[in-house]
Structure 1
């Protein structure tokens, strides 16, 4: 895979691609079926508005997220769009046998040639009890991620294997599927750099680690047959509306979601509320600021200004945008506003 690296201090938001990160939110009072209809609708609009990728995130045991069978949802989105790249943001590799992921994504790439991305994370995307239900043992964990990654890559390219290949992936073998490493700390940044792979950082929930991780990735990057220069995509929450006040109101659904996670109260995505004051303690408010402090919320003018500043800070080669908004029409409008900002 060859991605153009446009590193430079004067890059503007018009110079880089923007993509969509979708958690297929299940709304309070809604159903997963409605979530998937909304996902397809958003993907079709994103394609028309010029977004580059549409990535689906793997999470488990979360009543607010419908994308647990991530590969299935990717296939559904790809089948209902025509040109936008579709992929995982990401597949949590320790939850799976690498062979199964090679076969699943080999199947997706065979069905939708040159449109599939495989983003990989090493976190479980869930709690420890659910991790055990997924893996059935305690031996496989994030510490084995480099070995799992190496095994997965040999299924696509047997020449990378050190010994004789005894098991092969069909479909999968010989296919050129871009593999990304995802991270929220420096571990995956360093591994992506060492392997010469593109890197996606989860600034949308780990803003304080963003710049250190990107620095590690760029500093230690080693060119590979897949990538000549570092290519960093940065995740960011963007909630845009016609006014700052409306955007702040919409953002309370995201704030409630993270507050409920802190309290271990697993519920669907909640409708917005007039104010979060009185709903959280000072400690909880500070904890949410740690996770959501990088969110870009506001009117078109506010969003443009904050995006420019964020790009200046990160020098991102691409941004992938998450927008946990309760009302589907408001969510569409948020991505539409962002598309208008990028093109203007």
Structure 2
């Protein structure tokens, strides 16, 4: 007959094995990261030297497979500052008018476009025509038509088009995806994604439809949408949405303040998501299956990502998202590595097709169906 002492001893042994397993994971990860990289390094020029461009540049200091070697900006003073800070040679500095000349520069392999959304289309196509690989921030364009043209241009030029989906490389996110694929949650029934914050300066480009292509949905909402797709592991077949606007002065026509949207998937799973520029403390994912669950909060912020499942706390290594992203993208470009969740132009195109359907559903109040051949 089992006693309470036997039970506690077994529980203790299980906890010890789990702890040793976690330590082994950390050790293997550290060992892998400590091994000197001997392969080809991706030489990157950043286009758009704003806040996020700076974050990427700082993160790339720790990269082993990628290096910042050039800049493209319309502000001469920024170029000068970056030259000094990141030791960038003058011949690798361009402005928006002359960066086509990068085609004659063998010292740059790829250009990371980190400019307002409405500029991505033309800039990525110019990058492709210059024969350089393109990395583009999300959303990759302001509509699906533009995204399709970007994909076609890069294919024609035989260069890669990657999108800055940094969460696709985040270890704790990948662990939840692994568990879902392994059936550890059972049949997935429900996903909830909440992404939002209060937008500050009313004059910022993100609140200008001509530059942003929309509002919160184009910026923060894409995390909930993309998260729904990679957490559930399916593409939606129907969409409903509702828009709420409390400040039409700040959030002008065509700039959404808050959108709730719902997705239906072929398996019967459903997703309920919230995107807002007027609600703080929204950064949470929840996935529920008939055998378990995963909850992540923060789920998409710059870190650290935190989460738990029905099996316990997620304890995978904490990484700098942009460092991991750029190293992994170098492997995609030079080694044809296939990531767990795609970051190519077609992935960005899928999100834009769904965003267009979300806007349509919010405007009409009708359920929008997405046929299988839309993908």
Q: Which has the higher contact order (CA 8 A, sep 6+)?
A: 1
Q: TM-score when scaled to structure 2?
A: 0.32
Q: TM-score when scaled to structure 1?
A: 0.34
Structure with bigger gyration radius: 2
